[in-house]
Structure 1
């Protein structure tokens, strides 16, 4: 690529930035995104993300300075909020299941102890009758 075409690309990108920020797009949907900027400047997006990163950064800085959050950033923030809410739900569910698991473990321990006492005759039997072991049936 020669210097002239790089200069022409940069000029087209700068003009596209101005049009998008003014709300007067010619070639794009007018959204304040890199995709729309590339469309508006009639350049490939990779030129903005790999070669003319200074112009991309300038575009986003000017968008933020106007108090507008770029669409892609807004979407990422929404996704993050949804993921954070889902994580909180899952943590609550995990804690509930852990509590239930602990309760079941205590119940099993008590039943094993009572079963052992019944089989060995070491505990109070009261009205309980020991059941034969599975291998005795």
Structure 2
């Protein structure tokens, strides 16, 4: 399919409208999708046929000191993932400390168990007599 003769002009005009904050058809987002909607061309026309215009659009966004919406979303996601990674690392450190404490407690319990077993000698344990119930409770 060959592009329409005025397609490049429509893309340039749409990019200008988006960058000046006066979109007519799109939501004005700084994305290729918005540029395609604004210029009334398929998105793949920008990603396959008019890559120079797509790159020019992104370059104009960057020279304004702005970033494309997709880049902003990715930066937010990266920041969130870094926070999650840091909290996970702190949790791992806490779990390692807990494991060390539990191993120490288990070791201490094993030593106490060995000591207690060493105290009991065969023949020294006596059974206490069981109490005999009073006569009124016998049947």
Q: TM-score range by the shorter chain?
A: 0.7 to 0.9
Q: How many residues align?
A: 121
1:28 corresponds to which of 26, 34, 38: 26
Which stretches in structure 2 are left out of the alignment for 5+ residues? 122-139
What is the deviation of 1:7?
4.5
Give the distance between the partners of 2:53 and 2:62, measured in 1 at CA: 14
Larger radius of gyration between Structure 1 and Structure 2: 2
Unmatched 5+ residue regions in structure 1? 131-137
Q: CA deviation at 1:56?
A: 1.3
1:93 aligns with 2:91: yes
Q: 2:113 is matched with which residue: 102, 112, 115?
A: 115
Does 2:37 match 1:39?
Answer: yes
Name which of 70, 81, 84 aligns with 1:83. 81
Structure 1 or 2: more helix by fraction: 1
- Superposed displacement of residue 50, structure 1: 2.9
RMSD: 2.0
